[in-house]
Structure 1
Amino acid sequence: MPELINMGTLQLKFLHTKDETGGSLDMFEMTLQPNARMPVPHYHENWDEIIYGLTGTTTWRIDGEDIDVAPGESVFIKRGVVHGFTNNSAGPATCLCTLTPGVLGPSYFKEMAALLVGGAPDPAKMKATMLRYGLIPAPPPSAG
């Protein structure tokens, strides 16, 4: 049975993990409730990401450009490229996320979920967890 991880307005259902694929990939369904978003734009140096829309529409900010991913559409996020996401729609949206090679597994998401329990998370602890798993928070955009 696939593993479910709840992170507030996000729910992840792991389908394949780095452990069962010999490090080849991590694959999970991600459901975003309305107004859900990745709070910290980030990049990673050690893996690429493919997002495939299943239901609803998610908006991915990739290298400063907003890209809507609807059912049947996909986007490739190359390692080193700053990105984040949101669900701007009135209903839930689900996408299939594949990370290659698989380096995160469910552990990262479980740790982040634990930080979200009980109110406002500690930004320093969130950043430290991200960095430990290879997610590098992006610096804020410079004023033009």
Structure 2
Amino acid sequence: MSYPEDLTYPEPRYHGDKGEVNAVFRPADTPPDLSSPGGSTSYLATNDSTGGEFGLYKVELAARAAGAKVHFHKAMSESFYILSGELELYNGEKWVKGRTGDFLYVPVGGLHGFRNATDEPMSMLMLFSPGAPREEYFERVAEMSQRGSEELKRFRVRHDSYFVEDFDNGAEQAG
């Protein structure tokens, strides 16, 4: 394989000559940051810890967990990498079955959703870029869902989550 001579990298952001000791290690046995009957979420790299570069979360969904209905983001892309089990993913056109090792990248503005439609738990990595303060969203979305449609819609929009059902009078084209 040949490589072009004029590769373009981003502008340097570190201007030192020797490097720094600033890596962050999270052991695999660290307990999840958020747990519920529907699953758990581990905050691997947050908006705060990456300086806004990205957010990386390990999400485990219980059997038949609802996940997220069809929505899009105006400020960030979202990616899904399935670590174990199966997950139905909406790719903007249709629901597809994702299995261990499958990956879905959703650019900014791309319609997407996910759900565990199986009788087994599953695990995945979710990556948001650039980073955003998603922790409050994960921690409060169940509570906000109980409060009602207008308050839930405001909460979702505050967190850059535009759900089709909020803007189509409840008619979700993706089922």
In the superposition, the TM-score normalised over structure 2's length comes to 0.71
Q: Which gives a bigger RCO, structure 1 or 2 (Cα 8 Å, sep 6+)? A: 1
- Residues in 2 aligned to 1:122 and 1:6: alpha-carbon distance in whole angstroms: 23
Assess if the C-alpha contact under 8 Å between 2:73 and 2:110 holds in 1: yes
Q: Deviations over 1:93-143 (max 9, x none)?
A: 110001110013312212214336xxx45232221110111111113346x
User: Which piece of structure 1 moves more, 84-93 or 34-43?
Assistant: 34-43
Instruction: State the distance in 2 between where 1:105 and 1:3 align.
Output: 15
Consecutive unaligned residues of structure 1, counting only runs of 5 or more, are none
Equivalent runs, 1:6-25 vs 2, <5 Å: 6-25=35-54
Q: Distance in 2 between matches of 1:133 and 1:45?
A: 10
Q: Distance in 1 between matches of 2:37 and 2:120?
A: 15
Answering whether residue 124 of structure 2 is matched by residue 73 of structure 1, we say no
AA matched with 2:34:
I
Letter in 1 for 2:106: I
Query: For this pair of structures, how many residues does the alignment match?
Result: 139
Identity score, percent: 22
User: Higher mean Cα deviation, 121-130 or 71-80?
Assistant: 121-130
Please list every run of 5 or more consecutive structure 2 residues that lacks an aligned counterpart in the other structure. Answer: 1-29
CA RMSD, Structure 1 to Structure 2 (Å): 2.0
| Runs of 4+ in structure 1 over 6 Å off | none
Task: Name the aligned partner's letter for residue 71 of structure 2.
Answer: H
Residue 163 of structure 2 aligns with which residue? 137
Bigger strand fraction:
1
CA distance in 2, matches of 1:130, 1:76: 21
